[in-house]
Amino acid sequence: MNINIPGLDIEKAIDNSGSRELFTELLGDVHRIIDEKSDLVETYLKNEDLKNYTIQVHALKTTCRMIGAMELGEDFFTLEKLGKENDLEQASKLTPDVLAAFRALKPHLEPFSPHKGDPHKAFDKDVFSAELNSLLEAIDDFNLAAAEDATKQLFSYGCNEALQGKLKDLDKLISNLDYDEAKELINQILADL
């Protein structure tokens, strides 16, 4: 499949992520976080919390560069510099357009967003625990592909509603690259099994 998304340097993005497959997975991950991260940036800006604002726009700069949205990455870099300089006035002026451009990517990325399949494996505590431990290992190795794969495997088991909710939280943490929190949640799930 030929990928053509306005504003994205596809070749550079595939080089950045290591393979075409990882790149398309990354597009799906970014699709899932666009609204949440944009809302966070707006909230921090509205609350004049430039410290957390700067952390968020820094992360989005990296995210954009990873998917080949180089110009958008530069825009987030500008916002990051404004945050570091405590220039609330300029940050407030430029942020809406940058976030609008970021949100405009959403429909283009939707085809890459995986819809988790329905569970089709009977729940087996030992096998499920082994999958969770594989996920911990992948996180420790910063192996994004293995972490995504292990998460997909976890969703293939029939679980009760409480565990299903924790898996959704875990999936979100991994997509957002919040690995420390993901490890905490995995250990909590393992303890509860």
| Number of Cα atoms under 13 Å in the Cβ half of residue 51 | 0
Q: Boundaries of CATH 1.20.120 in the chain?
A: 10-112
* Cα 186 from Cα 165, distance rounded (Å): 13
Residues 6+ apart with CB under 8 A from 76: 57, 58, 60, 61, 64, 98, 102
Task: Give 5-19 pLDDT, tens digit per residue.
Answer: 889 999 988 887 788
10-112: CATH number: 1.20.120
pLDDT tens digits along 149-186? 788 888 888 888 888 889 888 888 887 778 889 999 99
DSSP, res 143:
-
92, amino acid identity: S
Is pTM, for the whole model, over 0.85?
A: no
DSSP state of 58: H
For the stretch 44-100, pLDDT in tens is 999 999 999 999 999 999 999 989 999 999 999 999 999 999 999 999 999 999 999
